[in-house]
Structures are given as C-alpha cells and as structure tokens.
Amino acid sequence: MANESIFVDSVGVIIRVDVKLDLTNIDIHYINIKKPSGEIIKWDTTIHGNPEDGIMEYVTVKGDLNEVGIYLCNSRIEFENGEIAGKTFKFYVKEPFT
C-alpha cells in the first residue's frame, strides 16, 4: 500500500500490517478503522504468509472505501490473556479525476 494512490470506491486494495509478533495460534486479529465521517468499523484480517512473521492482511471490498478523506487504522490482536493494539497509521482516499 505504500505510496499508492487510493481512490474512493476502490476494491482490491491490499492493506498489510506488520504487528511484529508471532501470530501462531492467534485466532482473533483485525484492524479498527475510523472513516473520515467518524464512523468506526472493524475489518477482520487474514494472516499473510508465515504466522511467525506477524503480518496481517486485509483486501478491501465494495463499500469499504466509500468516503473521501483520511482513514485512521489501528491493528488489534486478541488472545487468552488480553489484547494488544498496534500503532495507529493512516491513509488518504482521493476523489478520482473525471
């Protein structure tokens, strides 16, 4: 996703997050998203590659990127004894040229 232009209503945008933790045996992993309107949603992720590498992945579907502006993101993993939140990151969704 680095240095890519993301346009409103894009489908198939790959968002990968390196949580720098072994995700083996972690069943609950997701990204909390705060859309430009302030709406907060959750995107359930898959594990990209080897779970020991700690990379979560989400691929956008129709309706995910339906607002122009800044999206704030926070990765989360939950396990038996609690949960861990990653650093907040952001990306900008643009209006396409017409």
Does 51 fall in a domain? yes
In a domain, 32, yes or no: yes
Average pLDDT, the chain: 93
Total domain count for the chain? 1
Task: Give the residue numbers spanning the domain of 89.
Answer: 6-94
For 55-98, the pLDDT digits (tens) are: 999 999 999 999 999 999 999 999 888 999 999 999 999 998 76
Instruction: Say which residue the tokens 């705060």 belong to.
Output: 34
**Residue 47 belongs to a domain:** yes
What is the token pair recorded at 61? 């579907």
pTM of the model: 0.89
Tokens for 32?
């909390």
Task: Calculate the alpha carbon distances from 57 to 38, 84, 96 in Å.
Answer: 23, 17, 25
Q: What is the pLDDT of residue 74?
A: 96
Q: Which residues contact 5 (CB under 8 A, 6 or more apart)?
A: 94
Asked, for residue 27, whether it belongs to a domain, the answer is yes
Residue 12 has pLDDT above 60, yes or no: yes
**Structural domain includes residue 1:** no
- The predicted-structure confidence for 24-63, as pLDDT tens digits, reads as follows 999 999 999 999 999 999 999 999 999 999 999 999 999 9
In a domain, 26, yes or no: yes
In a domain, 42, yes or no: yes
